[in-house]
Chain A
Amino acid sequence: MSNEYGLRKRSHRKWVAGLTLMLSLMLVLSGCGVGKDDKGGSNGEGGKITLKMMHLWPEGSSAQQSKLVTQIIDQYQKDHPNVVIQQEVLENEQYKNKLKVLSASNELPDIGITWAAGFMEPYVKGGLFTPMDDLLNGSKLKDKFVPGTTEAYALNGKTYALPIELNISPIYYNKAIFQKYNLKVPTTFDEFKQVVKTLADHGVAPIALGNKDRWTGSLWYMYLADRIAGNETLKKAIDGSGSFDDPGLIQAASEIQTLVDMNAFNKGFNGLSNDEGKSEFMNDKAAMYLMGTWELPNFTTNPAIPQAFKDQIGFFKFPMVAGGKGNVDSWVGGPGVGLFVSENSKVKEEAKTFVEYFVVKWGEQSVTQAGVIPATKVDTSKGNLPKLYVDLLNELNQASSITLFADVQMKPNAAQVHLNMIQALFGKAVTPQQFADQHKAAIQKEN
């Protein structure tokens, strides 16, 4: 009896102990979620300040940029022993998604990356980014930016982020392939089509394109629209003061379909991501690739890519279309990403100081170390810069206009319609007229 009683008692105790353990575990677990300060910037032990920074240069796909960020952070921490900077790194698409989720729960990192104009607008209107005008007019950054770059980050007279990249989009081409088929760099769209035809006839993919990402195809449409209808017409159509019904813009859409019919793009482009499309170009399988200058490291400084390949890459400007209103020095591009500081950050001032430092250092080092064009002015006399890089920098200085990428300019909803329509246009699922109609409807709805 006593034995049985003892057993029962012991098992009873065991159950209670188990329960207590489970409950305390629950408390600990839930405590992890709620209690921890996810907003960062807590004044930790020993008066150390932690700054959280979220960015989109993973070591794998953006090796040079990633190295540079870490270098700048290390240096800053050395100079400011009371500051600790935590990096959170995500890949582009994931970054955009996480930013939205964090915004909805009001838990943005102290410092993060944003795109300009329409992309930034909801965040600014939601009061999540802090104005940076004091930095912009401060001693370290005044007049340091290339004119026109910070404007893209301004809303209602205040600047909400500081750009760190400036991009234009040339057509990169493989000189070896061009030589093999006796091709010259085209200056008019007719010559361009001739090049396309020759390459397609020989079974070489003329243009590398991964249009699953859709903004990649948008670049082609934007250039054709710019060359045929002129950049003012395009700009007005996008901001709603003009219309996508403009015959020039419709012609641009139908030229896209002409190119598709000519097999100008690699096979299956609508199902391939930009990276997959790009690999056609990087593997010498496609002759041309239209992309922003953020790709420059791959053609200049990136040690992972063979020098022989880098040497055979050149670029040309998007050709002129006969009878078009565009200017050959007009580019599609604009400031790439910029740094914002969260309005709700507990260490706003420290975060701003770091951003200022970061922009200055990035401007000095990104050229030589990462091969990226910063938004701050570049002194080309210093250092031994790759020729491709210097040439593009010169083009940038001569640019007559830079039209910001359509999906960044437009508000989120219209941008999605634009991107979907781009894929439909390339896939010949819509006519140029339907393409225009859908744009009109979407832009009217947002305004």
Chain B
Amino acid sequence: MRMTCMTALALCAASPAYAATHEVAAGDGAAERLQEALIMSEPGDEVVLGPGRFELEDGLSLDVDGVTVRGAGMNATVLDFTGQKGAGEGLLVTSDNVTLRDFAIENPQGDGIKSKDADGIVYQRVRVTWTDGPKSTNGAYGIYPVESTGVLIEGCEVSGASDAGIYVGQSEKITVRNSIARENVAGIEIENSRDAIVERNLATGNTGGILVFDLPNLPKMGGGNVVVRENLVSSNTTANFAPKGNIVGGVPRGTGIMVMANEKVWVANNMIADNPTAGIVVVTYTKPFDDPRYNPYPRDVVIGPNLAHGNGKDPDLPGIAPVVQAFGGKLPTLLWDGLTQDANTPALYAAAGTPGWSLNLTKQGQSVADANPGPLNVPSADNPVDMGDIGAPASLEARLAT
């Protein structure tokens, strides 16, 4: 019995040495050949997609650990789902330590790429595009890792998602970097997730640029430890085109960076320009909820130094015109709803000199109509609170191709 186990172990350890490459070219029968390659691959294998356009009628799925799927470039290899007849996403990944690189997904009917319970995933230079621009009939999420530990999204590009372009949900140890989110409802969204870094991305032309949310009634709760730094968040001016039942349907057009119901979020060194509602919004969850695990308040959110320009000129908030007028035709960079969990738990700190205003609401769920807007008055802080070790693990960084 022991010998059998030893033999099995030896085989496992040896298997990467025999890693195979499965080449799949575009053309006749590509859909079946590609799906078959994804199924028949073994841990450590590569599925290599040739250049060209792969016409796909059904969703693809990958369920083998340690597989790399790579194409000839995010503009050279296109998985075209315009004629998709079934499945809820273009590509579904349900295995660990998968690397996706250098290909595009166009016009998936549902989500673009969903990876669920897929730990240690790398998305590099992957593009998901709805080619007709922002439309409510587009699919929901472009790049959609959920319920995973270890997520690295690098050099990707998503446009047209009717919910969020890059949406990381119910996960931890996350880095989203050097990516472009354009003309989605939410550009980049970190939801019910912990230990995330969002850096050096471009979020433009979305309804809201970068969102950090925590929501009730989900299996994984308690979002926090999120750094949002060195991003360019500009001209997020697209009218909200989300189906209204979705939480992002409530995001005002022209929101730069929005933090809702999270703890320990550090927003600093971003360039935030020309977002008509507000450069930065920090708020409490607004709706009724009955989940005892849920904390609707922002806690220890630090707005460090940012470069902000031209925000708040045309806010998408009901009854706001007189307030804009009172502030001289342009709202300050930072909007806070004024709510804190309690006197001992500050919601918000802001770097000295951050122009801001508060709705001065007094309780969770209160309508904006009850606001009593006034200048911001929060403690000053230029540094983040200690979040420990956050971001995608080094082992994922090591898988990035140059």
Please indicate whether A and B come from the same complex rather than being unrelated chains: no
